[in-house]
Amino acid sequence: MSDLLSAAEPIASLSPRAPERVTFVLDSLSGGGVQRAWLSLAEVFLESCDRVDFAVCEPGGAFASRVPSGVRVFPLERSPRMVTRLMALRADPRGLLAMLRPILLAGSPPGYLRYLHSFARYLTRERPSSVITGGRTLNIMAVWARELAGVDTRVLVSEHVSASQDLEKKRSREWRRRYLPPVMRRAYAAADAIVAVSDGVAQDLAALTGLPRSSITTIYNPVIDARVLREAGEPVEHPWLRAGQPPVVLGAGRLIEQKDFPLLVRAFAAVRRRRRARLLILGAASDEAKTAARRAELMALAAELGVAEDVEVPGFADNLPAHLSRAAVFALSSRWEGFANVLAEALACGCPVVSTDCPSGPAEVLGGGRFGRLVPLGNVDSMAEAIVATLDAPPDRAALRSRGLWFGVERAAEAYLRLITAPPREAGVVPIRAHRVHAREPARSAPTSTWRPAADPRWRL
């Protein structure tokens, strides 16, 4: 393990301490990929910035205890629906038609937009020099909040999933979200920087919104640090992962449709018909009731396929690296991703990987298949064949670790710091009020300096 820890030394020396006051905006502190990324960046930023804050919509969650000491946490307050609609119109009055169906006429403004007023007041009071946020509605909220607050704060927005795939999934129950792309385009164009966590996500975002691909910077997620490598060597309580037991196929992630764990259970059943193995799926849903329901569904499927004795879904595991370092293979069955942090984590722990070739991220993390087998989306037989092949002929774990360490926290932190401390873009930030509502109208030329809202008493909070 000491070799692994030494390999995790900073890939590049970080910039000298900068007079930056950085705020990360989070929906919650639950165990998601975006939260992991911001926690990792915050720890590094504390060494190079004057102040680091978390502005959190829903405080609490599995990662609440992981917030680095020195990071100030500010809970945001949820506003009534009508207040949110009025604030949205104040922030972007020319965006009326764009926001009509997804926000103004919706039963409730989508996502986390209802924290807009509270975050604008936070900006007015705390005046951070930079804001970093991730996720569609949080991104929009951050840009609008700066408009309302009238502060000179840089806003960096980021996309962590394939937006088109995610919006398509939500059409049935949240059909108004299909109209969000024009709102995204207006807000994102007013940000100081746009980040995507993979080239696939960047291309998808550009195609969905019409934003120039050249305006989007790809920064792979900050995944691997000393904590991950340290936890890889810690003991694991689960008896299946002890020495001398049958090989374990490991799955991990939120128990949601996107992860397609039923496909993994079906593929495992095919594997089990050919050889001895066990399947362990780690993860939880958004609350205990949903977690219990999803677990019951997966176990019912396993029973139907005759493999229930070799399948377990024990819930969220705080020490995932320890499980990865002892699993025979990690299998990702997702229908879509943004980057797939867990694949980088598995590689760094030396765990062989099999993954669906879903949009976006897995192919980039696995080097097009050089560091793990990629299988067609939704294909049970191909997934089963890849798992069996990996169990029969596992790759060199040292080579996997070397690839995983490439996705170190320091590399990503340096890239984010460069963006938030760089001079304004040559074309400048496009003010929201300069956007044309109708696509056929000619666009205004962008100013040559960073735009900020005018000091207008009507916008004071």
Looking at 254-369, list the stretches that DSSP marks H as alpha helix, in order from N- to C-terminal side.
261-272, 288-304, 320-324, 341-348, 362-365
Contact status, residue 132 vs residue 25, Cβ threshold 8 Å = yes
Provide the percentage of residues in the chain whose pLDDT is more than 70.
86
Confidence grade of residue 460 (pLDDT, cut at 50, 70, 90)? very low
Mean pLDDT of 317-326: 94
What is the token pair recorded at 308? 């229930």
Token pair 């080579």: residue: 399
Contact status, residue 114 vs residue 82, Cβ threshold 8 Å = no
- Helix orientation angle between 81-91 and 116-126, rounded to the nearest 10 degrees: 60
The 3-state DSSP class for residue 304 equals helix
Contact status, residue 66 vs residue 39, Cβ threshold 8 Å = yes
Question: pLDDT by residue (tens digit) across 98-135?
Answer: 999 999 998 888 889 999 999 999 999 999 999 999 99
Question: pLDDT by residue (tens digit) across 381-390?
Answer: 999 999 999 9
What does the CA dihedral 304, 309, 315, 318 come to, rounded to 10 degrees? Answer: -140
Question: pLDDT by residue (tens digit) across 345-355?
Answer: 999 999 999 99
Question: pLDDT by residue (tens digit) across 259-287?
Answer: 999 999 999 999 999 999 999 999 998 88
Region at 392 (left for phi over 0; alpha for psi -120 to 50; beta for the rest): alpha
* Residue 426: pLDDT over 90: no
Q: What is the pLDDT of residue 96?
A: 96
Q: What is the DSSP string of 110-176?
A: -TTGGGHHHHHHHHHHH--SEEEEESHHHHHHHHHHHHHHT---EEEEEE-S-HHHHHHHTTTTSGG
| Burial (Cβ within 10 Å: 0-12, 13-18, ≥19) of residue 374 | buried
Question: pLDDT by residue (tens digit) across 49-82?
Answer: 999 999 999 988 888 999 999 999 999 999 999 9
What is the token pair recorded at 207? 């195609």
Q: What is the pLDDT of residue 110?
A: 87
What is the token pair recorded at 5? 């820890």
* Residue 361: pLDDT over 60: yes
CB neighbourhood size of 234 (10 A): 11
Cβ burial 160-175 (10 Å sphere, 16+ → b, else e): bbbbbbbbebeeeebe
Q: Given 3-state DSSP classes, what are the helix, strand and coil percentages for the chain, each rounded to the nearest 5?
A: 45, 15, 35
Confidence grade of residue 457 (pLDDT, cut at 50, 70, 90)? very low
Q: What is the DSSP string of 386-454?
A: HHHHHHHSPPPHHHHHHHHHTTBHHHHHHHHHHHHHSPPPTT-PPPGGGS-SSTTSPPPPPPSS-----
The 3-state DSSP class for residue 322 equals helix
Cβ burial 271-281 (10 Å sphere, 16+ → b, else e): bbeeeebbbbb
Nearest to 129 by CA among 47, 188, 216, 52: 52
Structural domains for the chain: 10-222+410-459 (3.40.50.2000), 226-406 (3.40.50.2000)
Q: What is the pLDDT of residue 76?
A: 98
Q: In what order do the strands lie in the sheet with 373-375?
A: 311-315, 278-282, 248-252, 329-332, 353-356, 373-375
Contact status, residue 388 vs residue 354, Cβ threshold 8 Å = no
Q: What is the pLDDT of residue 17?
A: 53
In this prediction the pTM is: 0.82
